A and B are shown apart, each in its own frame.
Chain A
């Protein structure tokens, strides 16, 4: 027990120190907390109202609650693949394995450590609301709440298992490459399926849900057994409560045992999921571009193409506009000119990225070369532009096909202008709040992309997106104006003006960022190395 307490306290201390050393993440988390609190309370209200609306009809309440719990459970497990942020942390236990600590203690410490994660804390009011909703008498509430908590603990145990599976895959570099590419595709599919289903109206979804509830398909889902116990506790049926609670406890124990087995197998190198293909070895390397900017662009493109996550992003950047265009064409209003231009604005404005994240330790190398810092930033932005070009071309091309070719210059100007400004803003994000991608062989969803720090990163991303929109707004407006006035001939004047304005803002952003870069070089390097060590 002493060692368990020590491990949990050490983990919490490390988490707090990591937040303290990256103050912007602490600020980002603080910004996100009101939203998290609101969603928690709103979720609690929905849960309570939903249960009371259904009443205590066992034919609907149990299957419906089970279905919701299963959906929530799967979304938590798949969160790293779908959103890139793990809602809890599967911390790297490899540093603890040489201590004579039983693996179950490590597993228990990991579970207990996750209890302080913001997303777990945010789930508590919802669990309480469910318990309150299903309790027919005040005396039943504690038992119902206990049932809900059992479901929550299983949820955390299951995310621990999925985190370990991801970690296990990541330990073989070549296999990780394939897995990350496929998982990014899965994430994309998961995120677009609901939109595709809803784009044809909600009827198919409702029919599917009714069928799932009618057949109680979530009966076998261990995510819901604690909730089932809670429902029976609320009705005062002690035997059923005890039975489902025991089942949930057994599921928790099973997940913990699976975690322990995975930990043992992963770190002994016995976790073989398959054989990855051998690396192809080509002939002599080809240089395409000359000069320092050309060399950097070429280097970034090669690395991006060989990195499965960025390769997946590249492929998905071509699919995403197609998906949105498909959704819009299925809507009653079809693809209006406004929709296409709004889509162009969105695609351009979301193009910013934390460009130094990929550099990781290589940043020290890059800073060692005698190259002006503005050239480094411009090269990074050019490489990012080149990577997004296929997606943008797909958007503009298909948009013009579905809408009108007359919109093509306006859409292209908006994408190019907002992209430039997004890239310029992204440079500040890279310099001020550097993050690092996990190195091959390390958990790709560990460190700064998991738990509280991952959520804080999301908040910072939203902040930079808003800044990009604010800076790009005048130029986007210039490009839209002729459409608003119904005088499309004005585009001959407004489009060049809009693009020139965006270029001027980009130049100013680059000048400022280069000066900031020169001043913060040592600090930036230190932060990247720290972030990479944590990842």
Chain B
């Protein structure tokens, strides 16, 4: 990452977008304390990450792109474990687990080992674990990948409601129309550098693209994507 600096206001749905290899997942790893930046400062909900890592971890929930779940626990056991690791009492962990399993349609699979879950079920389980302690900031790395359309709708509705209740969303996605529908504000990075930040209207105005330009048009212009139109020389 190259001198990336941004601020996200509380309760905003913030989209962090960029092409492959731009540094989206690396940024999330740094913001959640899994990767140490060589320089600079990160402050989340008033807690400086470097000095007070555990305080930051208490207020954030993370849904990583790769899903490192404990595969030989059942979905229910995993949520009960996560609840207690976030400091919930066993009774509260049980209550929230039951509610999350029902909400995300995982109730029938509660006794099945995670190793036997489908990708979508794993995603929902990881999302449930990220929500169980009522985080004030949610980091969501490609949250809708691998989820069926019905569950996708349930998840996006839930995320919107959480944002309305003051939970800050830090969201990455390759699906730009989903980002356009959900995000109040976006930042676009390219090769480790921040190339734009603001609401879609602000970015359109800054970059002098038409008011009807979609996020995809703006994105392609900002990352200077060379969308090649010619054929490959050896393909007849």
Interface residues of chain A, those whose CB is within 8 Å of chain B, are 173, 279, 281-285, 287, 290-292, 294-296, 298-299, 302-303, 306-307, 360-365, 367-372, 439-440, 521-522, 525
User: Is there an interface contact between B89 and A299, defined as CB atoms closer than 8 Å?
Assistant: no
**B72 proximity list for chain A (CB < 8 A):** 302-303, 306-307
Q: How far is the CB of A514 from chain B (nearest CB, A)?
A: 12
Interface residues of chain B, those whose CB is within 8 Å of chain A, are 32-36, 54-55, 57-58, 62, 64, 66, 68-74, 76-77, 80-82, 84-87, 89-90, 93-94, 110-113, 115-116
Q: How many A-B residue pairs have CB under 8 A?
A: 93
How many angstroms between the C-alpha atoms of A307 and B71 in the bound complex? 10
**B87 proximity list for chain A (CB < 8 A):** 292, 370
| Complex A-B, nearest 5 residue pairs according to Cβ-Cβ distance, in ascending order | A361-B68, A295-B84, A370-B57, A369-B85, A306-B72
* Seed contacts A283-B111, A364-B64, A522-B34; 14 additional CB < 8 Å A-B pairs: A284-B76, A285-B77, A285-B110, A287-B84, A287-B90, A290-B84, A296-B81, A362-B69, A364-B34, A367-B33, A370-B54, A370-B57, A439-B71, A521-B33
Q: How far is the CB of A18 from chain B (nearest CB, A)?
A: 21
Q: How far is the CB of B74 from chain A (nearest CB, A)?
A: 6
User: Is there an interface contact between B58 and A370, defined as CB atoms closer than 8 Å?
Assistant: yes
**A290 proximity list for chain B (CB < 8 A):** 84, 89-90
Q: How far is the CB of B119 from chain A (nearest CB, A)?
A: 14
How many angstroms between the C-alpha atoms of A295 and B33 in the bound complex? 22
Contact with A299, one of B32, B34, B81, B93 (Cβ below 8 angstroms): B81
Between A and B, 19 residue pairs with Cβ closer than 8 Å are A281-B111, A284-B76, A285-B110, A287-B90, A287-B94, A290-B84, A295-B80, A295-B81, A299-B73, A303-B72, A303-B73, A365-B70, A368-B33, A368-B34, A369-B85, A370-B58, A440-B115, A522-B35, A525-B34
How many angstroms between the C-alpha atoms of A368 and B132 in the bound complex? 14
Q: How far is the CB of B183 from chain A (nearest CB, A)?
A: 24
How many angstroms between the C-alpha atoms of A371 and B54 in the bound complex? 7
User: Is there an interface contact between B81 and A282, defined as CB atoms closer than 8 Å?
Assistant: no
Most A CB within 10 A of own CB, among B32, B68, B112: B68
User: Is there an interface contact between B90 and A522, defined as CB atoms closer than 8 Å?
Assistant: no
How many angstroms between the C-alpha atoms of A150 and B84 in the bound complex? 60
User: Is there an interface contact between B77 and A362, defined as CB atoms closer than 8 Å?
Assistant: no
How many angstroms between the C-alpha atoms of A333 and B59 in the bound complex? 64
Q: How far is the CB of B60 from chain A (nearest CB, A)?
A: 8
Q: How far is the CB of A398 from chain B (nearest CB, A)?
A: 32
How many angstroms between the C-alpha atoms of A354 and B26 in the bound complex? 27
Q: How far is the CB of B50 from chain A (nearest CB, A)?
A: 11
**B58 proximity list for chain A (CB < 8 A):** 370
How many angstroms between the C-alpha atoms of A369 and B64 in the bound complex? 14
**A440 proximity list for chain B (CB < 8 A):** 71, 115
Q: How far is the CB of A343 from chain B (nearest CB, A)?
A: 32
How many angstroms between the C-alpha atoms of A294 and B83 in the bound complex? 12
Q: Known: A290-B90, A302-B77, A370-B55. Is A279-B70 also a contact (CB below 8 A)?
A: no
User: Is there an interface contact between B68 and A279, defined as CB atoms closer than 8 Å?
Assistant: no
Q: How far is the CB of B69 from chain A (nearest CB, A)?
A: 7
User: Is there an interface contact between A281 and B85, defined as CB atoms closer than 8 Å?
Assistant: no
Q: How far is the CB of B169 from chain A (nearest CB, A)?
A: 17
Q: Known: A372-B54, A522-B34. Is A306-B90 also a contact (CB below 8 A)?
A: no
User: Is there an interface contact between B93 and A368, defined as CB atoms closer than 8 Å?
Assistant: no
Q: Which residue of A lies closest to B30 (CB)?
A: A522
Q: Which residue of A lies closest to B67 (CB)?
A: A361
**B111 proximity list for chain A (CB < 8 A):** 281-283, 285
Contact with B36, one of A173, A281, A522 (Cβ below 8 angstroms): A522
How many angstroms between the C-alpha atoms of A362 and B85 in the bound complex? 14
How many angstroms between the C-alpha atoms of A324 and B74 in the bound complex? 38
User: Is there an interface contact between B70 and A369, defined as CB atoms closer than 8 Å?
Assistant: no
User: Is there an interface contact between B112 and A279, defined as CB atoms closer than 8 Å?
Assistant: yes
Q: Known: A368-B62, A370-B54, A525-B34. Is A287-B68 also a contact (CB below 8 A)?
A: no
Q: Which residue of A lies closest to B59 (CB)?
A: A370
User: Is there an interface contact between A299 and B86, defined as CB atoms closer than 8 Å?
Assistant: no
User: Is there an interface contact between B84 and A173, defined as CB atoms closer than 8 Å?
Assistant: no
**A365 proximity list for chain B (CB < 8 A):** 68-70
User: Is there an interface contact between A362 and B74, defined as CB atoms closer than 8 Å?
Assistant: no
How many angstroms between the C-alpha atoms of A522 and B26 in the bound complex? 12
**A283 proximity list for chain B (CB < 8 A):** 111
**B54 proximity list for chain A (CB < 8 A):** 370-372
**B57 proximity list for chain A (CB < 8 A):** 368-370
Contact with A287, one of B32, B35, B74, B93 (Cβ below 8 angstroms): B93
**B81 proximity list for chain A (CB < 8 A):** 295-296, 298-299
Q: Known: A285-B77, A302-B72, A368-B34. Is A279-B113 also a contact (CB below 8 A)?
A: yes
**A367 proximity list for chain B (CB < 8 A):** 33-34
Contact with B86, one of A360, A363, A369, A522 (Cβ below 8 angstroms): A369
**B115 proximity list for chain A (CB < 8 A):** 173, 440
**B36 proximity list for chain A (CB < 8 A):** 522
Q: How far is the CB of B122 from chain A (nearest CB, A)?
A: 12
How many angstroms between the C-alpha atoms of A296 and B94 in the bound complex? 16
Q: Which residue of A lies closest to B78 (CB)?
A: A299
Q: Which residue of A lies closest to B98 (CB)?
A: A284
Q: How far is the CB of A33 from chain B (nearest CB, A)?
A: 35
How many angstroms between the C-alpha atoms of A522 and B32 in the bound complex? 11
**A521 proximity list for chain B (CB < 8 A):** 33-34
How many angstroms between the C-alpha atoms of A413 and B89 in the bound complex? 35
Q: How far is the CB of A373 from chain B (nearest CB, A)?
A: 9
**A364 proximity list for chain B (CB < 8 A):** 34, 64, 68
Q: How far is the CB of A341 from chain B (nearest CB, A)?
A: 37
User: Is there an interface contact between B94 and A370, defined as CB atoms closer than 8 Å?
Assistant: no
**B86 proximity list for chain A (CB < 8 A):** 369-370
Contact with B85, one of A279, A361, A371 (Cβ below 8 angstroms): A371
How many angstroms between the C-alpha atoms of A362 and B58 in the bound complex? 18
**A281 proximity list for chain B (CB < 8 A):** 111-112
**A369 proximity list for chain B (CB < 8 A):** 57, 82, 85-86
User: Is there an interface contact between A285 and B84, defined as CB atoms closer than 8 Å?
Assistant: no
How many angstroms between the C-alpha atoms of A364 and B64 in the bound complex? 10
Q: How far is the CB of A519 from chain B (nearest CB, A)?
A: 9
User: Is there an interface contact between B64 and A294, defined as CB atoms closer than 8 Å?
Assistant: no
Most A CB within 10 A of own CB, among B66, B76, B80, B89: B80
